Amino acid sequence: MPTTYTDQFFVMDPGNPPANGTALTTGPISYIDQDNNGYISPSGNDSAGGLDITSVWVGDTITVVMNGVTKTITGVTFYRSGGPAIFTPTDGTILQDATFVSSSYVTKSTQIAVTKFGPPCFTPGTMIRTPSGARAVESLRPGDLVVTRDHGAQPLRWCGSRTVSGLGRFAPIRFAPGALGNSRALLVSPQHRMLLGGWRAELLFGQDEVLVAARHLVDGDRVQVQPVAEVTYLHLLFDRHEIIEAEGALSESFHPGDAILAGDAELRAELLALFPELAQVGGRTAWPTARCVLRAHEARLLARAA
């Protein structure tokens, strides 16, 4: 059975590059491993963006200017039947619109493992709304102010991260631009909860707004599972559960629930040092969620009503 993977790309061929100064626009694209052998190759009817792949050039590089910074990116170039060549990074770079400078290219077409797709880091580059404007989440530190939906600017109490396999149950969920009001593609963990609202939520659950785990929102179109070899999940914790903006989409801050605290001893120890009351059942229940949280069957009901 074919497997679809979603990644980022530029339309360009490092072996036949555009002129220095050419503007490059990034976007999402779907790769299909037709025979599900774990590789994208010129054989087996694998495709990119709906077009059959005819060559795979692993190890091409491009040098571009992104956000005023000159950067060399290593990746793979796909030649496609009836369409332009496309370049996708394999070194973890999160693409943004850029200006082309130069390139280098390999001379032998091979194949590429699907585990090379997707940024190996989850959130670096994800922009979080703060009083001073949007900031990359990896730049935030305890004490920094973040704009919350309910309580205005609030200081961060703790920032944490975990690196895990990006396959199976830990594979990130990708929201295409505009799927939930996000201006750019947004990746979150499967259990990360997103804020939904409107008359359907009020009619079905008596709530103006509800929280739904990302994995319950997967539709195979604008919201997809994006397997990667490795993923780093970053957590932002406040004095209470908050609703914040990531790439313009509303989602939850980190919530130190029982399942999370029980699943990682190191994480548990770090959080208990900050919030010792969490060691007690009463302390944990004193951390209510910012909104009602829908169960899987409730999320499906809401999706069908949409």
8-state DSSP, 248? T
| Joined tokens for residue 165 | 């396999």
State the 10-residue block means of pLDDT for the chain, 306 residues long.
Answer: 75 97 88 84 90 96 92 95 94 81 96 67 71 89 96 92 74 88 87 84 79 87 82 86 94 72 59 66 64 83 69
Contact 251, 277 (CB under 8 A): no
Residue 119: what pLDDT? 45
Spatial separation of the C-alpha atoms in residues 278 and 267, rounded to whole Å:
12
Question: Strands, E, within 12-97: which ranges?
Answer: 23-24, 27-33, 39-40, 47-48, 51-66, 69-80, 83-89
Q: Which residues contact 16 (CB under 8 A, 6 or more apart)?
A: 85
Q: Identify which of 65, 72, 38, 40 has the alpha carbon closest to the alpha carbon of residue 53.
A: 40
Residue 286: what pLDDT? 56
Entry field: residues in the chain: 306
Spatial separation of the C-alpha atoms in residues 109 and 159, rounded to whole Å:
43
Q: Identify which of 29, 28, 22, 6 has the alpha carbon closest to the alpha carbon of residue 62.
A: 22
Contact 154, 148 (CB under 8 A): yes
Residue 259: what pLDDT? 43
Spatial separation of the C-alpha atoms in residues 212 and 219, rounded to whole Å:
14
Q: What is the pTM of this model?
A: 0.59
Spatial separation of the C-alpha atoms in residues 214 and 157, rounded to whole Å:
24
Q: Where in the chain is the domain with CATH 2.170.16.10?
A: 127-253+290-305
Spatial separation of the C-alpha atoms in residues 8 and 28, rounded to whole Å:
5
Q: What fold, for 127-253+290-305?
A: Endonuclease - Pi-scei; Chain A, domain 1 (2.170.16)
Residue 26: what pLDDT? 85
Percentage, residues of the chain above pLDDT 90: 37
Spatial separation of the C-alpha atoms in residues 149 and 152, rounded to whole Å:
6
CA 243 to each of CA 47, 90, 102, 107, 265: distance values in angstroms, whole numbers, following the listed order: 39, 33, 42, 50, 26
pLDDT 10s digits, 177-221: 899 998 888 989 888 889 988 877 777 777 888 999 888 888 888
